[in-house]
Structure formats: C-alpha cells, structure tokens
Structure 1
C-alpha cells in the first residue's frame, strides 16, 4: 500500500482526478486499519478466530428470522449480499466495507467530525476487475460474486480464503444510490484489506492511502459544502437533514458576520 501525506485540499483534488473508476473510503482516524466493523467487534468480544464463522452465521440467521416484521418487501432476506447490506444500513456489524465511487464523498465522511489527521483509501478497482489472488487464478471477481446463490457460503462464510469482491447488491437502497456506494467483501476477517491485496500480485498499485491533516479540514469542508456534499444529500431522509445542521453551526460565512455587525453595532468607545 502506498501512503501519501497531503498538505493542501487542492492536492487531494488533483490525485482524485487522476483516479478515474477507483473506489474510495474515508476514515476519521489515519491510524485505523482497513477492516470491517465485524472484525473489530469479534476481536473485542470473541478473540478466538476459529469461532468467527459460527458467530457471523448466527447473527445473519437471527436477523433474517426477525427482520421480516419490519419489512414490506421481504425478498432481500433471501439474498446474502442484500441481507448484509440491509444489516449494515441499520447499524449491524458486518463484513462489508463501505466504499464510494466519489473521492469527495469519502473525504466528507473522513473529515466531517475529524479531531485528528484522517485517511482516504483509494482502491484500484479497474486493475482488480479481472484479477485473482495468486493462490488460485480461477477466483476472479465474476467467479466469486456473492450475488450468485451459494457463493457467499462457498467463498466467504468459511473465513479461509484471502480474497475480495467489490460491487453493489442486485438492488440498492436510497442511501447507497445517494452516496455512489459500493461494498468490498473480504474473504477473511482477520487480515486488513491491504494484507489481502498483497496476495494479488501484479505491477499496478492496488491501494493508496491519502493522509489528510486536520489543518486541511476547514478548506475541505467548505469546498465540499459548495459541492453539495452534506449529510442532507448523502442520507436523503430526515435523519440526514438533522445531521447536516451540525456543519451549519460551525460555518460562519463572511456575509452573515457583516449583516450581524450592521444589525448590532458596537457601542461608542469600544
């Protein structure tokens, strides 16, 4: 994995423009490893990796048995990837890693609540499209596609194959559409994504990590606001609108300051 530390927002924009077709993911800490939420949860509460496939299978089974109560359309529960996407959408820990086709959406998620240096990971999906891991050249993206019935159990659920798949479910929800989102699905949970990619060989770089310093946040968030990249647009519901107000609290535009000063002039002699 190549790591590039940036100093200005314009540098990120220039790099992003050169990465046509790549996928991106933002982290609010540059120190976080590139692992899914399920890995972090299992490492904390189930330290024996031999039990992880059983734990994941049970979580999916429990969700599928009960989620139908809240769904008008239950068809997603018969599809492994759509079930995982539904779980992820509503806050469950899953093996899915959220990525986006937009570098600016990824930067927003990294920077919006940042209190330290952040990271945006860029995955070279064009180079990976027909690539397979070195240990088995037959395991291409199309071969292991978890949208195909039986493939999730065959290639992912056993937690033994260091490979990955990327793409969208057969049907996407409104948030995934709004965020230009896609998922990366790792075949093992106990390795970060960069270690899995080391097994894919080839001369092209497959993963780049951009470190964005906290000092960049002001310029970046202002640029993203002008691009209409906000919680209100990325989460097109009342929750997203309410979360978007947080940035309005910190953004004091120059004209607003001038209007306020005209309406509330300082007392003479101050």
Structure 2
C-alpha cells in the first residue's frame, strides 16, 4: 500500500485510503459526481492498469518467442480460426474487437482491459480472491477514470467514449492479429462501449479499453493525474468482504449469470 501511495503521490494522483463500506460509498459518490464514472477493481493494489497481454509476467512465461512467433498473434489467429467449432456465435471475419471480447470472456490474454460503470462491481472484484489462495490482507485498489478528460488530454475527438464499431477501436484490435505490428501505431488506449455479446457484459455493466503498441499503464501516461483517481482498500480483517458478499449479495452468480457463476457462488458459499 505504501508503495502505491508513494507512486501516486509522485504522479500527483489523488488517492484515498478506506476500510469500511460507508467510506467507500462516500468517496465513490464524490468520484462519480465529479465525472470519474468508469472504474476498475484490483484485489492487489500493486497491479498496474495494463491488459493481460502487455503484462511483463505474462510475456516472461511463454516459450513461443524463442520459436520466432508472436504470442499474441498466435493466440488471436488460432482462436479466430477455431472458435466457431465450440460456440454458436457467427462474427464477420474482420470483426476483430468482438473476437477479442470472446477471448477475454474465456480468460485468454488480450489487449483489452475491463472497466465498469458501477463502483460496486469494481468493489466486488477488488475484494474477491482465488479460492486456491488464502484470504490476503494485501490492500486492494479501485481506480476511477474521467473519460471526458482522458479523451481531451489525449486529443481523441468525439463524445464520452467510442462505440465498439468505430474505426480506431477496430484498428487497435487488429494489432492483436498481425505478427508484423506497426510499432509507430503508438496511439494511447481507446475507451469503448462494447456490443452485448455475453450476459456477463450486461451484468457487469462493462466498458473496455483497447491498447495499442504503447506498453505504458494508464497511471504512467502523461497527465494521468487529471483523469485518474484511486481508492486503496485496507483488508486488515474480512468485515468489508463479508458485508459485500453477505449483505449486499454481490457474488459470482450476480456478475457471472451462467453455469460458471452459479457453480462458483455455490463453491464459495461456506468457504472460510
């Protein structure tokens, strides 16, 4: 926690530390009212605002590079060629963003980063953890973005955020499918509103950002202090976690309205 707070202080990014739901409600209400209405929860406050395919720990644990292959394009093209055998979904071959959304949905690393319009959804993801691990007291974090200021700072024309089917969103998505990426295409991430391909997108009130060749996390971009805010959540005990799950009923069945969500909620029901 101290590391993130120190880094955000250097970046001049406003950071609040909370430990109760009342504090969360009060701080997030101010954020939303001031235009910071896109948010994302991290169960570990030290995680960066980077999509999985750009994270160093993902890149370091693959062996395709030694074979002269690009990991991302291998995954994307392979999935594009084969997903119709397993899913009753038919997409246009050049609908690269939708293909990435399906990949993201099934846990394949992509250049998409999930956000939500609902702070309680971000709180759920910040406080939940993998059952293979014990409850961690490592502080969590919720990041808030002001999309209007972000677009203004980045010089991106248009409204609050792009619809999925706009050219710049598809252009950045296409980078996932080509081994010969144009490194000059260093356009910063574009925030877009997705098509409702899956019920999870609706349940989680999802917004996405698609990232280009710039490997920088959102918080490391120029003028990040103008469009980002952060809440750090202390987890010294399980009180807030239990309130979110047992009182607010924010559980896997709510946010994953499918057999996976039902099974995961059932599995966690009596877990210590």
Confirm or deny that 1:42 pairs with 2:59. yes
Counterpart position of 1:112? 128
Equivalent runs, 1:1-270 vs 2, <5 Å: 1-20=13-32, 22-40=37-55, 41-45=58-62, 54-75=70-91, 77-113=93-129, 115=136, 116-128=138-150, 130-133=151-154, 137=155, 139-140=156-157, 147-149=165-167, 152-153=170-171, 157=175, 158-159=182-183, 160-188=185-213, 190-196=215-221, 198=222, 205-215=226-236, 217-250=238-271
Work out the CA distance in 2 between the residues paired with 1:45 and 1:73: 29
The Cα of 1:12 is off from its aligned counterpart by 1.3
Work out the CA distance in 2 between the residues paired with 1:77 and 1:218: 48
Alpha-carbon distance change, 248 to 164 in structure 1, aligned in 2, over 3 angstroms: same
Work out the CA distance in 2 between the residues paired with 1:144 and 1:46: 35
The Cα of 1:87 is off from its aligned counterpart by 0.3
Alpha-carbon distance change, 156 to 123 in structure 1, aligned in 2, over 3 angstroms: farther
Asked if the contact 2:163–2:194 (Cα under 8 Å) also holds between the matched residues in 1, the reply is no
The Cα of 1:71 is off from its aligned counterpart by 2.4
The Cα of 1:165 is off from its aligned counterpart by 1.1
Aligned residues: 239
The alignment's C-alpha RMSD in Å is 3.0
Asked if the contact 2:19–2:235 (Cα under 8 Å) also holds between the matched residues in 1, the reply is no
- For each residue in 1:33-82, what CA deviation from the matched residue of structure 2 results, as whole angstroms up to 9, or x when unmatched? 2211111222443798xx89x44233221111111111223116541111
Secondary structure of 2:108's match?
coil
Work out the CA distance in 2 between the residues paired with 1:154 and 1:184: 10
Give the TM-score, by structure 2 length: 0.76
Work out the CA distance in 1 between the residues paired with 2:231 and 2:20: 12
Moved over 4 A (4+): 141-146
Q: Which of 70-79 and 17-26 deviates more?
A: 70-79
Asked if the contact 1:30–1:117 (Cα under 8 Å) also holds between the matched residues in 2, the reply is yes
Asked if the contact 2:100–2:112 (Cα under 8 Å) also holds between the matched residues in 1, the reply is yes
The Cα of 1:100 is off from its aligned counterpart by 0.8
The Cα of 1:121 is off from its aligned counterpart by 1.0
Asked if the contact 2:39–2:144 (Cα under 8 Å) also holds between the matched residues in 1, the reply is yes
Work out the CA distance in 1 between the residues paired with 2:60 and 2:163: 27
In our comparison, the structure showing a higher alpha carbon Rg is 1
Work out the CA distance in 2 between the residues paired with 1:121 and 1:58: 31
